[in-house]
């Protein structure tokens, strides 16, 4: 980027290291569990442990699920995590990817594990749409000019296989108060899916205040 480029976009707190480890483990374990031929004792043990953890976490987690964002926030609300990039690192519902941003273009790679299956051996189209939305906004945030998604159109050219190293490319265009992006997902030279997304460009200085964590749990 040039010296005149705005700094990367960030809005919210970084996820705890423990949270990212949990998301990765959940993604792997769910994939393994969905491939089982029958019930296994270790899965029952895991369910019991998770239910016990749920009870203990409920005692220390915020009682209000609304994020602590804005001028008028409830003190019992939760911390808001930065969703500018790498959401899959802390949310196993979102696929992981690698991305390299160079100004208004970006390239990267992604592989969808079994957790994201739709048709047999193929990725569910809804997860592909989520992926495009996340990776395009990641690009916008790294460039330093982003905003809310207003439209997203995905064209499915070919079925997208699971557990396959795929590549993607993005091109963005600033158009006044709008940002438009086009993206392509490929397996080798074969185009699998294409996306067109539009976002309204936000004024980062007008963003509401985000309340930081009350306690530094990274220590």
**Of 150, 151, 147, which is closest to residue 202 (Cα–Cα)?**
147
Query: In Å, how far are 10, 51, 139, 167 from 145, measured between CA atoms?
Result: 10, 42, 9, 24
Query: In Å, how far are 7, 41, 212 from 93, measured between CA atoms?
Result: 28, 25, 24
Contact 100, 107 (CB under 8 A): yes
Query: In Å, how far are 9, 55, 125 from 154, measured between CA atoms?
Result: 25, 40, 9
Q: Residue 2: pLDDT above 50?
A: no
pTM of the predicted model as reported, rounded to 2 decimal places: 0.89
In whole angstroms, give the CA distance from residue 105 to residue 156: 22
Domains, the chain, ordered by start: 17-206 (3.10.129.10)
Contact 128, 71 (CB under 8 A): no
In whole angstroms, give the CA distance from residue 16 to residue 80: 12
The predicted-structure confidence for 20-34, as pLDDT tens digits, reads as follows 999 999 999 999 999
| DSSP run (H or E) holding 175 | strand 166-175
In whole angstroms, give the CA distance from residue 97 to residue 114: 15
Phi, psi of 99 (to 5 degrees): -145, 145
pLDDT category at 1 given cuts 50, 70, 90 is: very low
The predicted-structure confidence for 100-157, as pLDDT tens digits, reads as follows 999 999 999 999 999 999 999 999 999 999 999 999 999 999 998 888 999 999 999 9
For residue 112, give the DSSP letter: -
Contact 40, 27 (CB under 8 A): no
How many separate helices (H) and strands (E) can be counted in the chain?
3, 6
pLDDT category at 94 given cuts 50, 70, 90 is: very high
Classify burial at 172, counting beta carbons within 10 Å of its beta carbon; exposed 0-12, middle 13-18, buried 19 or more: buried
The predicted-structure confidence for 49-77, as pLDDT tens digits, reads as follows 999 999 999 999 888 888 888 877 777 78
């Amino acid at each position: 980027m040039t010296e005149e480029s705005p700094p990367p976009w960030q809005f919210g707190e970084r996820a705890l290291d423990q949270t990212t480890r949990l998301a990765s483990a959940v993604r792997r374990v769910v994939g393994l569990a969905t491939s089982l031929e029958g019930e296994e004792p270790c899965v029952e043990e895991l369910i019991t442990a998770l239910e016990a953890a749920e009870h203990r976490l409920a005692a220390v987690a915020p009682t209000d699920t609304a994020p602590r964002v804005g001028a008028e926030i409830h003190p019992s609300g939760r911390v808001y995590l930065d969703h500018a990039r790498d959401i899959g690192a802390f949310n196993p519902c979102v696929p992981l990817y690698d991305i390299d941003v160079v100004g208004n273009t970006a390239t990267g790679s992604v592989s969808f594990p079994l957790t994201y299956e739709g048709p047999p051996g193929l990725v569910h189209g809804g997860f592909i749409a989520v992926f495009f939305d996340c990776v395009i906004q990641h690009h916008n945030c790294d460039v330093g000019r982003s905003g809310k998604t207003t439209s997203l159109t995905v064209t499915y050219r070919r079925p997208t296989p699971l557990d396959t190293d795929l590549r993607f490319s993005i091109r963005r265009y600033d158009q006044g108060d709008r940002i438009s992006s086009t993206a392509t997902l490929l397996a080798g030279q074969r185009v699998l899916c294409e996306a067109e997304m539009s976002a309204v460009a936000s004024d980062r200085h007008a963003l509401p205040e985000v309340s930081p964590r009350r306690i530094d749990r990274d220590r």
